[in-house]
Structures are given as structure tokens and as C-alpha cells.
Amino acid sequence: MCKYTAKDFKKGQPRWCPGCGDHFFLASLHKAMAEVGVAPHNMAVISGIGCSSRIGGYQYCYGAHTTHGRALPFAQGIKCANKDIHMVVCSGDGDSYAIGLGHVLHAMKRNMDITYIVFDNQVYGLTKGQTSPMSSKGFVTKTTPDGNPLTPLDAPSMALAAGATFVAQAYAIDMKNMVDVITKAVDHKGFSYVNIFTPCVTFNQFNTVKWYNGHLKKLEDIRENYDPHDKAAAFHLLSDTDSLVLGVIYEEEGAVPFGEIVPSADVRLADHVEKPSAELFEDLCMEFR
């Protein structure tokens, strides 16, 4: 069996600001995929729109940089065509929790075998610093010049309530912990959701590295003998920590993925479609040149 390394997934030069947390996540994703033993040709990274969503172009595997808030519908369609592909969906906090939220809730409930990563920098980065649903109360941005009057959305509790079967959080700067969390998420059978705190060093001077170091708590430091299969304990943990906790918060035991609930979806549509002739395929390609 061929063993892949993180280097096999590397492609291109990321165009993120120096010091952006997204650089750390990218390196960790490649490490985690190599650890799980996925071949690049069996993996797809689908993203929405945002600084974070540029990630779709930075690895050697299948991928698509889709439209704002719509990465999950694309990814679920691809999973229907090829259920065997390892699917990683990457999105920003604006992409996921603002314009894309309806899709997020239904995807969590549907439980397709997809790993869903949200780069949560608590701001709209690509459009130069507007308030997002995850922005901290008091954060001064171009859209809230007197400070954000609202408290951030409690995304992990929302995920639990929506029926997500794997809920975790990580911090981009703590790469060791992040690789561990992503590896577990990819191993999970069903929809695995990971919210990653990642500093936006250019447009978020509120949630700085210093702020994260002072606010984020590691699960193992605050709970002894924590049972991630206990949903009530997961809700309590999130409530006790204002959801600023890192680690695997919940994993449903014996979760049944969508393909087993709906057996007709457990096929590869790609095996059931007539393949176009070489001439027709060439004609089609010409249309898009």
C-alpha cells in the first residue's frame, strides 16, 4: 500500500496575509489527511467564498471553489455521485453562519459522511472587516462603528441542537491539537463539524492571539473524565465556557450516516451514468475554453 505524506497534498503558494491563522490550518489539514492514509485522488476539498475559502486551490486533490454560502450543497451533490470520496468542506464564519446557515443546519441533520471545517476569525476578512454572526460584543468594525451590540452566535450548541453527530473546536495556532481533532473528524462516519478559531491579523484587532490565549480553554484542562458521547454534558460544557472550549465536544455513538438511512443514496451515481464519447467530451470542453 502506498503511504502518502503531508507533502503529497501541498500545492501552490497561499495568498493569505503573513500571520493569518489559515496558514496553520492548511498545514494541519495536509498532516491529518496523510495520517488518516487518504490518497489525494480519493479526496475533495470544496469551499465557499472568503479568504478562508481560497483553501480549495491549495491542495493536490479534487476540489471546487464554489459560491458564497453554498459549499455544502455542492459537496453533498458530489458525495451522491461518488460516495467513496473523502469530502472536506471548508468555509468561513460569514460563509457558514450568515448567508449559508440554512444549508448548514440541514446538512448537520442529514448526516452525510462529510467533514465540515469552519474558519472562525469572527469577522468578514475578504470584504475587509465587517461584523459577522460570530463577532464579539463590543467589536468595532466598519458596519458597527459604535461596537457590535450583539453577542456572538453559539455555533457549537446550535450544531448539537441541529443533530450534528460530531462537534469539535480547535485553535489554528495550536497545530498539534488541531491535527488530532481533524484526524478524529475525518475518521468519524457521518457529518463531522469542526469550528476552528483562527486569527485575522489584518481586520480583527479585537480577537488577537493574546485574546485567544486568554479566553480559549482546553477541554482536558477543565474536565476530568469527560465523556464526549454524553450530549447533556456537551451542552453543559458549552454553557459553562461561553463555548470557548477546544477539543472533541460530542461524538454520537453508533451514528447512522445518510447513506445507510436512505439506501438508495448509498450508490455511486458515477457508475450509473452513460459516459460521453471522446468527441462529445472534447466538444463540451471546447464550449468552456
Ligand X SMILES: Cc1ncc(C[n+]2csc(CCOP(=O)(O)OP(=O)(O)O)c2C)c(N)n1
Give the interface with Mg ion as residue ranges (CB under 5 A).
Answer: 92-93, 121, 125
Residue 265 binding ligand SF4, by CB under 6 A: no
The grid coordinates listed for 98 are: 450568515
The grid coordinates listed for 244 are: 470557548
Residue 126 binding ligand X, by CB under 6 A: yes
Q: Can you say whether the dihedral through the CA atoms of 116, 120, 126, 132 is positive or negative?
A: positive
Nearer Cβ to ligand SF4 (24/191): 24
Decide: 182 and 82 in contact? Cβ < 8 Å: no
Q: Interaction with ligand SF4 in 22-41: which residues (CB under 6 A)?
A: 22
Largest Cα span, the chain: 64
Nearer Cβ to Mg ion (197/250): 197
Binding test (CB under 6 A) with ligand SF4, winner from 29, 46, 49, 51: 51
The grid coordinates listed for 78 are: 458530489
Q: Which helix (H) or strand (E) holds 118?
A: strand 114-120
Binding test (CB under 6 A) with ligand SF4, winner from 6, 17, 140, 222: 17
DSSP per position, 123-178: SBTTTTSB--TTPPTT---SS-TT---SPPP-HHHHHHHHT-SEEEEEETT-HHHH
Separation in Å, CA 10 to CA 44, 92, 184: 13, 21, 21
Residue 20: which of ligand SF4, Mg ion, ligand X, none does it interact with, CB under 5 to 8 A by kind? ligand SF4
* Number of chain positions touching ligand X (CB under 6 A): 17
Nearest approach, Cβ of residue 188 and Mg ion (Å):
24
Residue 20 binding ligand SF4, by CB under 6 A: yes
Nearer Cβ to ligand X (93/251): 93
Separation in Å, CA 270 to CA 6, 81, 257, 274: 28, 5, 20, 9
Binding test (CB under 6 A) with ligand X, winner from 24, 62, 74, 124: 124
Binding test (CB under 6 A) with ligand SF4, winner from 200, 219, 234, 248: 200
Q: How many other β-carbons are positioned within 10 Å of the β-carbon of residue 140?
A: 15
Residue 190 binding ligand SF4, by CB under 6 A: no
Residue 113: which of Mg ion, ligand X, ligand SF4, none does it interact with, CB under 5 to 8 A by kind? none
Q: Which helix (H) or strand (E) holds 110?
A: helix 101-110
Q: Which residues does 253 contact at the CB level (< 8 Å), separation at least 6?
A: 229
Nearest approach, Cβ of residue 203 and ligand X (Å):
8
Residue 144: which of ligand SF4, ligand X, Mg ion, none does it interact with, CB under 5 to 8 A by kind? none
Residue 223: which of ligand X, Mg ion, ligand SF4, none does it interact with, CB under 5 to 8 A by kind? none
Strand ranges across the sheet with 166-171: 62-65, 43-47, 86-92, 114-120, 192-197, 166-171, 245-251, 217-218
Binding test (CB under 6 A) with ligand X, winner from 50, 129, 247, 259: 50
Nearer Cβ to ligand SF4 (11/217): 11
Which residues here bind ligand SF4, judged by CB under 6 A? 16-17, 20, 22, 51, 121, 125, 200-203
Which residues here bind ligand X, judged by CB under 6 A? 49-52, 68, 92-95, 119, 121, 123-127, 132
